[in-house]
A = this chain, B = another copy of it.
Amino acid sequence: MAKLSGFPELLPADRAVELAVVDALRHVFELHGFANVETRAVEPVETLLRKGEIDKEVYVVRRIHDDASVEVGSRSDALALHFDLTVPFARYVVENAGKLAFPFRRYQVQKVWRGERPQQGRFREFTQADIDIVGDGTLPFHADVEVARVMAEALAAVSRVLGAGPDDPSWFTLQVSNRKVLEGFYRGLGVAEPTAVMQVVDKLDKLPGERILELLAETGLDDDSARACLALAEISTEDTSFVERVRALDVQHPLLDEGLDELATVVAACADVEGVRVTADLRIARGLDYYTGTVFETRMTGQEQLGSVCSGGRYDELASDGRRTYPGVGISLGLSRLLVPLVANGLTSSRPVPSAVLVAVTDEESRAASDALAQRLRRRGIPTEVSSAAQKFGKQIRTAERRGIPYVLFPGEPPSVKDIRTGDQVDVDPDTWTPPAADLTPTVVGLGHHSKETTP
């Protein structure tokens, strides 16, 4: 049976890593008061197609016995799988506005689908983890700061799960920029079409500076202006010193001042978040999305080929029902995009089962006694399984080994526990003995420091 290209599935030990990452994200999000929401998998096709450029990638769904002669997608009630969590969340906000307390903070971890043609590295089903803060009519700027801080803490938590030291900031870089800085700067230069310039600058990751200058010239910029735009895009600082560097380019515009103020506030507010690097990066434009201020991207060190694994920004109109407008600021972590390539590179967990202990079975007649021993461990929160076959103990120990289960408990008076890694065996009281905390749940292994081991 061939696997379906673009629909990644994880083996149990790898799925344990994903679960641990989701737990870490959830913990951070809930500590900051973000409520969880799940939305249905489908939306009306017309809702999804409102965002023009995605229409090629939508999966339409229909009941198998519906009339096939009607063209798919042409019916006004046709449904399709959502391709992100923002569109369904915007619809959820409008639909439930009367029952939500604004500003509404929510996190959402769900699968999304895109009808990509099968090709290397393109997922057709993948998991995203989103946070957003949404206001009713207005949303103060400090929501941008909050979203940045919360996701910075979440990225730090993820890197700790994956093996980073507690203060090691070298795994993720949250790159913050602000569309007002870029647009204000371009307007200060007299550029008529700031959006065209943004879309060129957005390519700085992929193209050399000289080529960017050529493309900027094609948008109608004179050489000095093009060089100024490139110089702006090349500014990247780990503190608020970017402000001085922008000022040194000697361009004036009120929108630029507002943007610099906002961006400096976000970067300064993230300075004390440990375990992650937060930079002001003026090459980040997110030219193709509908952001109006703060924008985010995120790179993982040693995994730059993944592109941005966590992106978002401020929308002045996340949603609208015609009468009311709901501004929002949010950021979306591409969980599958991040984890699936790492798993392919060896990231996994120390065992494919939650069990920390295997209880041996002497013979089938005494299985109930082994079951009872297991229950005494479980009652104290120790994940335990009972041997499936009353084989010779040597075979049962090898079963534990194959599953990565560190301890085997043998029935007896008193019972005894063998640490199968050291071979040490000691008598224990099954109502008090507890494995060390590090053995209680599977741990993440196999990645080492990602930037060393996974670079080819």
How many chain A residues sit at the interface, stated as a range, is: 35 or more
Q: Are B1 and A95 in contact (CB under 8 A)?
A: yes
Beta-carbon contact of A35 and B12 below 8 Å: yes
CB-based contact A383/B31 at 8 Å? yes
Please tell me how many copies of the chain the complex holds. Answer: 2
Let me know if A283 is at the binding interface, CB within 8 A: no
Chain B residues with CB under 8 Å of A439's CB are none
Contact with B along A76-94 (1 / 0, CB 8 A): 0001110000000001101
Question: What's the nearest-Cβ distance from chain B to residue A151, in Å?
Answer: 15
The reply to whether B64 and A37 form a contact with Cβ atoms under 8 Å apart is: no
- Is A428 part of the contact surface with B, judged by Cβ < 8 Å? no
Residue of B nearest to A106 (CB): B12
Interface string of A31-74 (1 = CB under 8 A from B): 11111111111100100000000011111111111101001110
Given contacts A72-B72, A106-B12, A367-B142, contact A352 B64 (CB under 8 A): no
| A418 at interface, CB cutoff 8 A | no
Give chain B residues whose Cβ lies under 8 Å from the Cβ of A125. 40-42
For A79, what are the chain B residues with a Cβ–Cβ distance below 8 Å?
A: 4
**Which residues of the other chain, B, contact A8 by a CB distance below 8 angstroms?**
40
A56 touches B64 (CB 8 A): yes
- Tell yes or no: A453 within 8 A of B by CB: no
Residue pairs across A and B with Cβ atoms less than 8 A apart, 16 shown, are: A4-B79, A10-B37, A10-B38, A15-B38, A31-B378, A31-B382, A33-B354, A35-B352, A40-B125, A57-B63, A58-B63, A59-B62, A59-B64, A101-B353, A101-B402, A101-B403
Q: Give me the interface of A with B, judged by CB distance under 8 Å.
A: 1, 3-4, 7-12, 15-16, 19, 30-42, 45, 55-66, 68, 71-73, 79-81, 91-92, 94-96, 99-101, 103, 105-106, 111, 113, 115, 125, 140, 142-143, 146, 269, 321, 352-355, 367-368, 371, 378, 381-386, 388-389, 399, 402-403
